Structures are given as C-alpha cells and as structure tokens.
Structure 1
Amino acid sequence: MIAKEFDYQRPATLEEATAILVAHPGETTRILAGGTDLVAWLRDDAVAPDLVVDIKDIPDLRDIRMEGDTLHLGSLTTFTDLIESDIVEEHAPLLIEMASTVASAGIRNRATMVGNICSAVPSCDAGPVLLALDTTVHLAGPGGARSVHIDDWFVGLRQTALTDDEVVTHVTIKLQEHGGAYVKLMRYAGEDLAQAAVGIVVYPDHDYRVAFGAVAPTPIRSARIEEALAGKPLDESLIAEVVGMVPDEISPITDMRATAEYRTHMCQVMLKRGLEAAVQRLAGIGPAYETRLI
C-alpha cells in the first residue's frame, strides 16, 4: 500500500514534461517510466515524492535503431524490447545477455534499461555493461538538450548526473567490432538481484573495458585493471595478474545476500571467465551469448 499522497501528471510531449518539472522547483519529483523500482520504493516508504511525472505517453522514447555505427535506445525501451530486438541481437548481443538475467519475464516486460541506471542502485544490471560499452546518456531540460558520458553518470548511491528538471530521452552506444561478457552472481538462476556482477568488452587491438556491479556504492569501471590488460593478448599469466588486483578495486559489503569475502572471491572468478569468454566471442569461437559462465 502507498500511504503518502502525491500529485500525478502524464505529459504527452518532452516539452510538456520539462515544463512540469520547471514549474515545481523545490519539490521532490520522480519520473515514472516502467515503474518497477519506483512503485516498490513508494510502497516501502523509501521515497516520498510530491510529484510523479509519468512519461509513458511521450512518443519516440521506445525507439531502437542504428544511426551509422551508433545504437540508439529510447528511454522507454524495456529489457524485453532489448531481448526481442533483431537490431540489438546483430549489433550488441551483450545487451541481450545482460537483459536476460533481469528479474522475471513480467518485470522485464515493464522495467526499462534507462530506469535501471537512473535508480543508480549498486546492483543495477545495466550499469556494468553500459560502463564497459561506449555509452552516452542524453537528457532534455529547460536549458535544452545535453549529454553525459556513462563514466560521469553515477555520482553516488542512488545518485546520478540527472538534475531535478531533466528527463532522459535516450542512450547511444558507439559500436565497433568487439567481444563481450556479462557475468552475474545470483543466489539462484533468474529473478534475483546481483550479489556481484562483471561487465567486459574486448576490442581487436587488445583494448579492454572492465566494470563491476554490486560491489561498491555504484557500478564502477576499473581503470587499473584496464591499464594492466591494455595492448596485451590474454594469457594465463595476464589473467592471474588482473585477478589478483580485484580486491583493491572493489569495496563490497556483507549483507543478508552474501559476505564481502564471497563477493570478492567470486568477482575474481567472474573476471577470469568473463575475459576468456569475451576474447573467444571476439574470435568467433564462442561460447554463445547468454551461456551461463558461473
């Protein structure tokens, strides 16, 4: 049950949405897209907004398309949309590997990828993958449009670069030939939050991107691990070197779902298996995307 009353508005255009946000300065406002996180937070009294702005009626926010070498994903794109998209399957199957691990089919039908990164919870599935890819978040507000690179998006626990008078319109991912892997540790297969997660992208010139989820206040990239890998073909010695760096790169907690020590150990296991899978996928020798690696 949602105990606290709030105002609800459902704009039909982006301009109307931003005008509503500007007209309510100083108020606690929440954007409603899929609503899977927001509704749960409202029921638990984790948030108490004065105003909820429902953007589901705004056209063109569910668009999936390629623009040259750039993948465009509207902010209302759900995880199911990603899974079922031929465009995503052809150009960015790593997104499907990630999306297929999210909660249940019912949640995937409603939850949006952009909403996932706007929640900015440590365990958000999209975070490590979008950090590993060359992702930009595009916003609309009273000052016009602006863009934020994913490296600058997560600013703290449940905090992002999004301001109170802005709406995310879409994300873009600049694509080139790559192999990737998303490895997620769960208590059971499916319908669970990540206990820990690793997102990896490898390019043909031995350029690596490595990001972790659920082991710090926000999803994080590891510049030190990337630098250690840079320009080098993957072998057992290199894997051992970067696996040994993991404890200094993450800051997991102990909670009801896992201990910090277990999360650290499994991040080392997942980094090793993810790197191996990403390199093999780049070479076209498998394992297939969506193959469980742990």
Structure 2
Amino acid sequence: MPVPREFEYVKPATLDNALALLAEYGARARILAGGTDLCLKIKEASETPEMLIDIKGLQELTALDYAENQLRIGAAVPFTRLIESPLVQERFPLLRDASATVGSVGIRNRATMGGNICSAVPSLDSGPALLVHEAVAHVKSRQGERRVPLLDWFVGPKRSALQPDEILTAISVPTPPKKAGACYVKLGRYAGEDLAQAGVGVLALEGHEYRIAFCAVGPVPTRARKIEALLQGNKLSEPVLKEAKALVPEEIAPISDIRSSKEYRTMMIKVMLERGLQAAVSALRGGRSEHGAIWV
C-alpha cells in the first residue's frame, strides 16, 4: 500500500532539537520511535502528519538501567530488549511476560513500551504490568520535565496525559516493596500475534497483599481497586475467590466488537482473575520454575 501523502522526515541529533521541532510544528508533527502503529496509520490515512520526528537514535532514550531500586526504560527501548534482559527477567518478570505477548518477533524488535503507552489503546499488554508496578512516565518539553504516574496516564481510549509539545523520555518502574510473585493472563483468539480480547496483570506480595489491573475490558487500562481491597490480608480460599469474581462487573466496562462480545469478556475475566491470582501466589512461594504469561 503506497503512502497517500508526502511528509517531511527529520532525524534530530539531540532531544533538544527534537523538542524544538515539536514546539514549532505542534499537532502537525508526529514522534516516530518504533513506528509499528504510526506507520500503519499513515498508510491508512488516519494520520496525516506534515513531519515525522525520528527519536529512536537518541542515545538518552535507548538506556535500560537499574539504580536506586528502580528500573528505567528509555522511550526508544524495544520490547525485545526487555524480554532478553537478565535484569528484567530476574527483578521484573511481569514486564518480561507481558512484553513477550506483544505482536510477533518482528513487531517486538521494533515496537517500544514507550510507544505502547503513548498509543493508549485499551488493549495494550504493557498497561496492566506497569499499573500494578505503579510505574511513572517521564515527559519533557521545552518548558521543562514532569513525572506522570501511570495511574493518571490513560485519560481515554487512545488518549494519554502526554501534551502536544511533550516527548515521553522514559518509564521508571520501582521494585516491589516486598517479596512478590506475578502473572499476566491474556485472552486471545489464538496464542500468538493477536490483540488482547482481555488481559489481567497480578502482583501478589508477602502479607496477602494484591495488586490487580485489567486491559481491553474498559475505555482505559485500570487497577481493580475494589477487588484489591476485598483480597487485602486474605488467603486465596475458594469463598474469597468467589467474592472477588463477583466484583468483576463493578470493575470493568467491556464493549462488544469484532474480537469479542462484552458478555464473553466479562465471563472470561472472572476465570482469568482466578488463574492469575493463583499463579502469582504460586510464583511468590517459588512454585514456578519459569515465568511466562498464561494464554486463555
């Protein structure tokens, strides 16, 4: 498919140069990192930028490091680097598991977690993992820098808190405050290159503390606060799990679309929640020798 409209392509040498171009062009410019979503939108003419500002070569945006109990993921770090990083596998297995479910190998080699959250699609696989880890987005404009908790990042379907003159520079992910086990459960039409019909991220911490987040079952990825409160301090007995699943309809607002009906999503989220909680607790106790997302 040919590109239906001409645009200017610029690969700035520094982040300051990129910010200057963005300030000049505003809404007429688009930031290019992995480009797996943007390039398709340009071909389909749903996006018609006058300029593409390519940031993937900026060294400060490609860093993946750990300091002061936080993982810092540069905005241009592709999913494959997260999957292959021994540091991520050891300290943040949930990020690794969720990343491994994104698209195909080719997509993961290009697509970035930064671009994933900037797309802000309701089904993004990185959303639940980042939400339960209480990650923070770092953004920069010519006016300065600011930090946006991921809990405040998603403001609507395909809408984030990023302003038109800002560039996402990194995502910081704090180490859980206690020993933890985690699991990502993804519902797809098949195991492989498919968008989530529903997704559940679970972080189980010592002391029967649980963090839970959903994707693809509402306008934005979100934490399940009512279910978390119910589970707080409780072992995962059958009666407790039954109460937790009964709260699911109060936590989600699914739609029916080409991939699934809202009724099916609601039913399956209950199943996925139970499996995710049990797997996360098992991981906390050392019951899983290998981490991996659960496909349903």
Common fold: TM-score over 0.5: yes
Q: Distance in 1 between matches of 2:293 and 2:129?
A: 16
Q: Distance in 2 between matches of 1:291 and 1:122?
A: 19
Q: Name the stretch that deviates more: 138-147 or 284-293.
A: 284-293
Match of 1:284 in 2: 286
Q: Does 1:150 align with 2:150?
A: yes
Match of 1:85 in 2: 85
Structure 1 SS opposite 2:61: coil
Match of 2:273 in 1: 271
Q: Distance in 1 between matches of 2:52 and 2:218?
A: 29
User: Do the aligned residues in 2 keep the contact of 1:134 with 1:175 (CA within 8 Å)?
Assistant: no
Q: Which amino acid aligns with 1:49?
A: P
Q: How many residues align?
A: 293
User: Do the aligned residues in 1 keep the contact of 2:184 with 2:293 (CA within 8 Å)?
Assistant: no
The CA deviation string for residues 35-72 of structure 1, in whole angstroms up to 9 with x for no partner, is 00001111112222232211012112121111021111
TM-score by length of 1: 0.96
Q: Distance in 2 between matches of 1:242 and 1:6?
A: 51
User: Do the aligned residues in 2 keep the contact of 1:273 with 1:293 (CA within 8 Å)?
Assistant: no
User: Do the aligned residues in 2 keep the contact of 1:118 with 1:160 (CA within 8 Å)?
Assistant: yes
Match of 1:17 in 2: 18
The CA deviation string for residues 70-105 of structure 1, in whole angstroms up to 9 with x for no partner, is 111111111110111011011101111111111110
- Offset, 1:180: 0.9
User: Do the aligned residues in 2 keep the contact of 1:29 with 1:52 (CA within 8 Å)?
Assistant: yes
User: Do the aligned residues in 2 keep the contact of 1:280 with 1:287 (CA within 8 Å)?
Assistant: no
Q: Distance in 1 between matches of 2:22 and 2:117?
A: 20
Match of 2:112 in 1: 112
Match of 1:75 in 2: 75
Structure 2 SS opposite 1:262: helix
Structure 2 SS opposite 1:36: coil
Match of 2:28 in 1: 28
Q: Which amino acid aligns with 2:180?
A: H
The CA deviation string for residues 96-146 of structure 1, in whole angstroms up to 9 with x for no partner, is 111111111000100001101110011111111111112000011111111
- Offset, 1:4: 2.1
Q: Superposed, which structure 2 residues align to 1:210-249 within 5 Å?
A: 210-249=212-251
* Ranges of 4+ aligned residues in structure 1 off by more than 4 Å: none
Gaps in structure 2 of 5+ consecutive residues: none
Q: Does 1:65 align with 2:65?
A: yes
User: Do the aligned residues in 2 keep the contact of 1:274 with 1:293 (CA within 8 Å)?
Assistant: no
Match of 1:122 in 2: 122
Change (3 A) 1:29 1:291: closer
Gaps in structure 1 of 5+ consecutive residues: none
TM-score by length of 2: 0.95
